[in-house]
Amino acid sequence: MTVDNRTTSAPVIHGPASAATATAGIAQHLIHRPSARSYYALDAPSPGEEHFTLVGETPVTHPLFNDGPGHFHDLQIATGAVRDVGELVGHRYFGVPGDRPGLFYRFALDLTDLSAWRTDPAGGRPVIMETRIRARPANVVAEVPRGLDFHLDVQIDGRPCAVGSAGMVFLMPKLYRKHVAHARQAMRAVPELDDAPDGPPRPADILEVSRGADDNIVISEPIDASRGRISTWVLSAPVSPVFDNADEGSYGEFSGLHLLEALRQTSLLTAGRAHGLEPSRSTLGACQVHFRGQAARDLPLRCVAVAGPLGRDAEGRPTVPVTLTLTQQRWAVAEARTSVVQDY
């Protein structure tokens, strides 16, 4: 990934993304747009809001983002790109020590123009995705932020198409390791809270989750489905290496990409079974996710989803709200609300 500091002029796309990220292989360029007063003091940590633009072409051969019917650009392109740069922004521009990894604990994205997310009918043509990012320090202690708050504006091919927000916390490595160890010990110390499948989970049908490759399926066939409620398991293996935990450290946890994909797949499956929406022509029109903890890959992870009533958006397209909860040993890992919309 290349980084540029400028106040004006159009962005230039060049340079590969870091191979350690979920968006490896996607060309990205991060442009810092400092205010005039701070332009000549870039080495000093920023005390306030900073503006950035993240620019890149949508991929055409990515093993996950280009897997499926191809009716829409994958929302995970936008979420993954922000995950890639959030930690860099904190370390480089806000004075966060380099040994403190960043972890997103909330994320929200609302599509404002669904038509902009449609792919080229001819296929294979990348387009420019531009994400304007406003970053502000949060919970500042001794002039060093413990976290960052982000506001996002997404454009595809020059068309505004989504707005979002995110929150990141920077971790004290030693304290975080102790926290992870304590949490896992606590979960294993209460056997009456055990929550595990009766047998090896069977992957969900690829058509119901709008993917094409078997190793991109990260949820099981529902073990309980009635009256709009779906209960499934998040698969840790065998899955594509793209879900490896490169973006969240090395504590044996599910990556953010893995969990977001599980929420996406469960939302589509739930909307399809509850109200008959066609997964191949559906996407998440909105999502709000709050992570309450980390999920260990060596323990079963359950996802429960409840579909709301069938509605229509402003263009008359079918929409279904879905409420989801990820739990491990009956402890909440994440809570989410999504809206599944089916295109014409």
Q: What is the pLDDT of residues 41-76, one digit of tens each?
A: 556 688 889 999 999 999 999 999 999 998 999 999
Residue 248 has pLDDT above 90, yes or no: no
For residues 9-13, average pLDDT: 35
Note the pTM of the prediction, 2 decimals.
0.88
Which carries the bigger pLDDT value, residue 193 or residue 142?
Answer: 142
* Residue 289 · residue 263 · CB < 8 Å: yes
Instruction: Quote the mean pLDDT of the chain.
Output: 86
Of 26, 2, 67, 20, nearest to 247 by C-alpha is 20
- Neighbour tally for 155: CB within 10 Å: 18
103 contacts 171 by C-beta, under 8 angstroms: yes
> Is a pLDDT exceeding 80 seen at residue 267?
yes
Rounded CA-CA distance 228/226 in Å is: 6
What is the identity of the amino acid at 287? C
165-179 mean pLDDT: 85
Residues in CB range of 324: below 8 A, 6 or more apart: 263, 266, 267, 303, 304, 305, 306, 334, 335, 336, 337, 338
**Are 29 and 12 spatial neighbours (Cβ–Cβ below 8 Å)?**
yes
Task: Provide the pLDDT for residue 290.
Answer: 97
